[in-house]
A and B are shown apart, each in its own frame.
Chain A
C-alpha cells in the first residue's frame, strides 16, 4: 500500500487528556498537510510541511495543537488538554510540489476520527 496512512483510525479520549496522531505520507512526496473536518463542512486547513519545515499554521491551530515532521517523512499531530470541540476527523494529505509550483499526486489519508467525551 503506497497511499497516505493515518493511525489510529479512531480515538476516543476523555476531556483534558492529550492525544497524538500519526501520518505516513507517500514516500516521494515532499509536502504534508493536516486538515480538520467536522460534519457538513469541507476540510479546514491546520498546517503544512515542506520536508521537515513547517511552512504555515492556521489560526485554528491553537496553543494546544502542535505538529512535527522531524525527519521530513512521517508527521505527528498532538492535541493537549483535549476539549469536546476538538471532536472531528483529522485528515492528512501529501503531495509532490515542484520548485516551479506544480502539484502532483495530492492524496488524502483515511483520517483519524477523534471523539472527546
Chain B
C-alpha cells in the first residue's frame, strides 16, 4: 500500500531552467512533509520541509508547495544546476514517515 507516490521515475532539465518534482499522497492525516536528495552510496540528505498548516515554504533555490485538497506536494528548483542531479524522495508523516519511490533528476549542462 503505497501511501506516498512519485509517478515520474526520472526527469531531465537544462541547466538554469526550473525543475519541478511531484509527489501525491493518500492519507489525509499526514501533517508534515519532507523532500530529500540522495546521491549513490550515500544516505538521504534533507532538503526542505513543510507542515500541513502552510502551503508554501522557500529555502534559497528550493520551494515546496503543498496542495492539501489535492493531496499533492511539489518541489521547485530554480535555477537548476548540474550538482542538483540526484534522486529526490518526498516523505510524509503522521508519526512515522512514508517515502515515495524517488525521482531521478538529471540537470544537463
**Residues of chain A within 8 A of B21, CB atoms compared:** none
Say if the beta carbon of A62 comes within 8 Å of chain B: no
A56 to B89, CA, bound (A): 22
Structural contact, A42 and B100, CB atoms closer than 8 A: yes
Q: How large is the interface on A (under 10, 10 to 19, 20 to 34, 35 or more residues)?
A: 20 to 34
Name B's A-contacting residues (CB within 8 A): 4, 6, 31-32, 34, 36, 42-46, 49, 51, 89, 91, 93, 95-102
| Shortest distance between the CB of A56 and any CB in chain B (Å) | 6
Q: Is the interface of A mostly helix, strand, loop or mixed?
A: strand
A107 to B91, CA, bound (A): 13
Name A's B-contacting residues (CB within 8 A): 4, 6, 33, 35, 40-45, 48, 55-56, 91, 93, 101-103, 106-111
A6 to B41, CA, bound (A): 13
Structural contact, A56 and B95, CB atoms closer than 8 A: yes
Q: Which residue of B lies closest to A41 (CB)?
A: B101
**Residues of chain B within 8 A of A35, CB atoms compared:** 99
CB < 8 Å: which of B45, B49, B51, B96 contacts A33? B96
